[in-house]
Amino acid sequence: MGWAKLVWHPSCISKHALYLWLAILGALRTLDKLSHLGILPSACCMFNCGGNESVDHLFFAFPYTQHIWIEVLSKCNIYRQILCWPEEVQWMADHARGNKPP
Ligand SMILES: *[C@@H]1O[C@H](CO)[C@@H](O)[C@H](O)[C@H]1NC(C)=O
Ligand SMILES: [Zn+2]
């Protein structure tokens, strides 16, 4: 549970914390899950990029959102390759100091 301090910290915004928590638990209702449950016929990403929508795709693998994440990291003077979602969470947990996000 090294990630708990990333989600719940004194300056967190509750709505953001909730979504981050759901994403870490793999509980966000992305199209891949809805299609797996038979609720939707396809998990095809709505941006027509050819991929399936998952947390990893939506926030990290899709070029537009990947660009946003690269920008956020560069504002923190961090220059590195984007990892997959579980590795990003681990990386953040390893690099967070005290009870504040980096
Ligand atoms: C998307 O999901 C479908 C059904 O699970 C699968 O058959 C297809 O190969 C996937 N496409 C990609 C690009 O991963
Ligand atoms: Zn896509």
Whether residue 102 contacts residue 6, with contact meaning beta carbons closer than 8 Å, is answered with no
Dist. CA 72 → ligand 2 center (Å): 20
Give per-residue pLDDT as tens, 68-81. Answer: 989 999 998 899 98
C-alpha separations of 96 from 6, 88, 101 in Å? 7, 12, 5
What's the 52 CA to ligand 2 centre distance in angstroms?
Answer: 6
DSSP code string of the chain: -TTHHHHS-TT--HHHHHHHHHHHHT-S--HHHHHHTTSSS--B-TT-SSSBP-HHIIIIISHHHHHHHHHHHHHTT-------HHHHHHHHHHH-BTTB--
Q: Which ligand is nearest to the CA of 64?
A: 2
Mutate to test the pocket of ligand 1, among 39, 44, 52, 56 (most ligand atoms within 8 A of CB): 52
Q: Which residues surround ligand 2, an ion (CB under 5 A)?
A: 45, 47, 49, 51, 62
| HSE (side-chain half, CA atoms, 13 Å) at 68 | 7
Flag whether the pTM goes above 0.85: no
pLDDT of residue 42: 92
pLDDT digits (tens, 9 = 90+) for 2-56: 788 888 888 889 999 999 899 988 888 899 999 999 999 999 998 888 889 998 8
